[in-house]
Structures are given as structure tokens and as C-alpha cells.
């Protein structure tokens, strides 16, 4: 029996990607799509590529339109989901792609977002290694409230957590620099995202530890076992519509060998359906993950610098948002974790 699904924020990029994946998921039936300025428009007027959902019209986003579904996916600007979801029944599975329920500490919310804090939900990164040796997927089983991670956070966390959890890298000197596609900033008009500003140029943003994903990366790496954590995080906007290529580096712990480093990452991801460690000497391109729910990781040990280098590629809209949301929803509902999720990308 299929489950009825509502997608709020369906006119945006994350909403569109949720719909693209949900439309071919065998257990989900999208019956309601909602928007803000675009409410009242046929879905295909806003997303002409979603032909199989051409019968849907965008409704207003309200507690009334979201009520009565088995599953509600939210892809709204941060700060917009808390009030809406407080009123949804406890047995409705609610999956929030925004930041409202990711952070466990109200102080982090105040410092990086501000406004009302609505509490943390079960975190939607099944592969996250936890310090006790378990993984986050165990916590997702049966939950009815899921907070989907930030896209950059997923790339950095998956790249570094194996080394933290195994104790082969030192957590007090982590550096992550990311090339990020423009869809990560959403679909609303912004001067700095115009084609004429972006094409042919790369630019750093939120430099100096002020990006909103910093506290979430910290939270994950502490969950993986880091104490004394220091992480420098710098995203770089590059001229591509989607994708993230994160270069994360860390100092090797004293006396650690290359074999021990490789063992840590191999052990972490050997059985993961979506996170794949590439053979030595191979490094992913962001385009290798386009349209797929995969994270591809290339690993190197820079002996002279005594550092581990982890290059992680994801599609920000799939493993970085919509795919993670559906993967986590599958787990929450007791469905096969991989159901409806592509591992093959689109190339070139």
C-alpha cells in the first residue's frame, strides 16, 4: 500500500529534487505540493521537467494543506518549519530539509541562525559513525521526526568521521575547503548568483568560521568521538549548477601508519550502499555524483605534511538533501534503506 506524501516548498530546488525522486519511489504517492509566491501555479509551470507530476497544482503552505498525509517533506527557508510542524500529528513522519531541527544546542541556533528554537530531531545521516561504534541509522528506525543535514556538512562529515572515530587523525586541526555549485543557495534571485557574476569565476563566501554549517559539522564530529575539536571551514562558489567537492584535511595522529588510515576509512564504508571509498590514487569529480544519492571519497596521505586528505564528492541536491531525506524516511518507515534511490549518476 502506498503512503500519501506532501512536499512543502515544492517550487524550490530541494523541493523539485524531492519530487523527482519521490515520483519513481514505489511506496510513496505525492498528493500535495505547496509553495509560497508560486502557490496557485501548476507544478509544471515552475518545474517543466517533472512531467509525471503534471496533474499537481501548488497549494499554499499551511498546517491545513499539510494535514492528513502519512509523510510530509519540508523544503522551506530556515525558520519556516517549526511553527508548521508543531501542529502535525505525532504519527505523521515529518522530514525537514531545512536547518530548524538540526542543532542540539539552543546556543548554536542563536549564534548562527537566531529566532525561535524548535528543538533537535533525529539526524538524517544514516552513515554517521558514532563514538560508541554504532551508526546513526539505528536511531532513525521508527522515528517520526527527521532533520536532514546541511549539504556541505554531509560532505565534510563523511570525509573526516572515519579518521576521528578510529583515532587516527587529530581533531584539533581540521581544515575543509569546498567547491560548491550555485543551486546550494536556492532558487530565489540574488545578484551574486547571476550568470554574469558566476560564469568564469570562483569566490569564497562566509569566510572565517561564520558559515551556518560550522556548528553542525562540529556536532557530528563530536558525535563521532572528537574532543578538542577545531575545524576551519571555507566554501567556494564555483560555476556549476549542482555538486560539492570537499577537500578535508587533518593531521595524522602520532605514530599512525598509512595502512591504519586506509583501514579506518575502508571499515567505515565497506558495507555502505551509498558512500564509496575509491581505490588509492583515484579521486572523485563532483560530476560523478550528479543525480545520484552517492558520496564518493578519495583518500591520500601527504607524508611530508603529515596530513590525511579526503576528497568527497556529492550532489548537493541528492545525497546533500532530497536523497538523504528519502533514505532516512525509508529507515524510519521500516522500508529497505535504498528503495527508490539512484546510485548511478548522469554524465557528462
The H-or-E segment that residue 268 falls in is helix 258-269
Q: Residue 150 CB, nearest distance to ligand NAP (Å)?
A: 6
Q: Residue 317 CB, nearest distance to ligand NAP (Å)?
A: 5
Q: Which is nearer to ligand NAP, 20 or 80 (CB)?
A: 80
Q: Which is nearer to ligand NAP, 143 or 154 (CB)?
A: 154
Q: Residue 138 CB, nearest distance to ligand NAP (Å)?
A: 23
Taking the C-alpha atoms of residue 158 and residue 88, their distance in angstroms, rounded to an integer, is 32
Which of 3, 23, 29, 36 binds ligand NAP (CB under 6 A)? It is 36
Q: Is the N-terminal amide bond of 344 cis, ω within 30° of 0? A: no
Strand partners, 247: 177, 311
Q: Residue 315 CB, nearest distance to ligand NAP (Å)?
A: 9
Which of 11-19, 49-57, 116-124, 331-339 is the region at the interface with ligand NAP (rule: CB under 6 A)?
A: 11-19
**In degrees rounded to 5, what are phi and psi of residue 51?**
-65, -35
Q: Residue 152 CB, nearest distance to ligand NAP (Å)?
A: 8
- Here the cell at position 128 is 554517521
Taking the C-alpha atoms of residue 268 and residue 312, their distance in angstroms, rounded to an integer, is 14
75 binds ligand NAP (CB under 6 A): yes
Strand partners, 71: 5, 93
Is residue 151 annotated as a catalytic residue, yes or no?
yes
13 binds ligand NAP (CB under 6 A): yes
**Burial label, 300 (beta-carbon count in 10 A; 0-12, 13-18, 19+):** middle
Q: Which is nearer to ligand NAP, 12 or 215 (CB)?
A: 12
24 binds ligand NAP (CB under 6 A): no
Q: Residue 256 CB, nearest distance to ligand NAP (Å)?
A: 33
178 binds ligand NAP (CB under 6 A): no
Coil vs helix vs strand at 30: strand
245 binds ligand NAP (CB under 6 A): no
Chain residue whose CB lies nearest ligand NAP: 12
Binding residue count for ligand NAP, defined by CB under 6 A = 31
The per-residue DSSP string of 290-313 comes to: TTSS-EEEEEEEETTTTEEEEEEE
Taking the C-alpha atoms of residue 40 and residue 71, their distance in angstroms, rounded to an integer, is 22
Encoded one letter per residue, x for contact with ligand NAP by CB under 6 A and - for no contact, window 202-241 reads: ----------------------------------------
The pairing of beta strand 145-147 with beta strand 122-123: parallel
CB 338 within 8 A of CB 327: yes
Q: Which is nearer to ligand NAP, 8 or 161 (CB)?
A: 8
Taking the C-alpha atoms of residue 61 and residue 84, their distance in angstroms, rounded to an integer, is 9
14 binds ligand NAP (CB under 6 A): yes
Name the residue with cell 565497506. Answer: 270
User: Which residues form the interface with ligand NAP (CB under 6 A)?
Assistant: 9-15, 35-38, 61, 75-78, 80, 97-99, 150-151, 183-184, 186-188, 316-317, 320-321
Active site residues: 151
Amino acid at each position: 500500500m502506498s503512503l500519501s506524501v506532501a512536499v512543502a516548498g515544492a517550487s524550490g530546488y530541494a523541493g523539485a529534487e524531492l519530487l523527482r525522486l519521490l515520483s519513481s519511489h514505489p511506496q510513496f504517492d505525492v498528493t500535495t505540493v505547496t509553495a509560497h509566491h508560486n502557490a496557485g501555479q501548476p507544478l509544471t509551470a515552475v518545474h517543466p521537467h517533472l512531467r509525471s507530476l503534471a496533474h499537481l497544482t501548488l497549494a499554499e503552505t499551511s498546517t491545513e494543506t499539510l494535514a492528513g498525509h502519512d509523510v510530509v517533506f519540508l523544503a522551506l527557508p530556515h525558520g519556516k518549519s517549526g511553527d508548521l510542524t508543531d501542529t502535525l500529528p505525532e504519527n505523521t513522519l515529518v522530514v525537514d530539509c531545512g536547518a530548524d531541527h538540526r542543532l542540539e544546542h539552543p546556543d548554536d541556533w542563536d549564534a548562527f541562525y537566531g529566532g525561535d528554537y524548535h528543538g533537535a530531531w533525529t539526524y538524517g545521516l544514516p552513515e554517521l559513525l558514532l563514538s560508541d561504534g554504532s551508526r546513526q541509522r539505528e536511531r532513525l528506525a521508527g522515528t517520526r521526526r527527521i532533520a536532514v543535514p546541511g549539504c556541505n556538512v554531509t560532505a565534510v562529515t563523511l570525509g573526516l568521521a572515519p579518521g576521528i572515530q578510529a583515532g587516527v587523525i587529530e581533531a584539533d586541526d581540521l581544515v575543509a575547503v569546498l567547491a560548491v555549485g550555485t543551486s546550494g543557495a536556492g532558487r530565489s534571485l540574488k545578484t551574486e548568483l547571476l550568470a554574469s557574476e558566476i560564469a568564469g569565476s570562483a569566490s569564497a563566501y562566509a569566510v572565517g568560521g561564520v558559515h551556518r554549517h560550522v556548528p553542525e559539522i562540529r556536532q557530528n564530529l563530536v558525535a563521532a568521538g572528537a574532543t578538542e575539536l577545531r575545524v576551519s571551514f571555507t566554501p567556494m562558489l564555483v560555476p556549476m549548477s549542482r555538486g560539492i567537492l570537499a577537500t578535508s584535511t587533518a593531521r595524522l595522529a602520532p605514530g599512525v601508519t598509512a595502512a591504519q588510515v586506509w583501514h579506518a576509512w575502508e571499515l567505515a564504508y565497506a558495507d555502505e550502499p551509498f558512500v564509496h571509498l575509491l581505490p588509492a590514487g583515484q579521486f572523485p569529480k563532483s560530476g560523478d555524483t550528479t543525480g545520484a544519492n552517492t558520496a564518493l571519497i578519495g583518500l591520500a596521505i601527504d607524508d611530508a605534511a603529515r596530513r590525511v586528505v579526503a576528497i568527497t564528492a556529492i550532489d548537493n541536491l541528492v545525497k546533500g538533501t532530497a536523497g538523504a531525506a528519502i533514505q532516512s524516511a525509508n529507515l524510519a518507515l521500516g522500508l529497505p534503506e535504498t528503495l527508490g534511490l539512484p546510485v548511478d549518476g548522469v554524465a557528462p
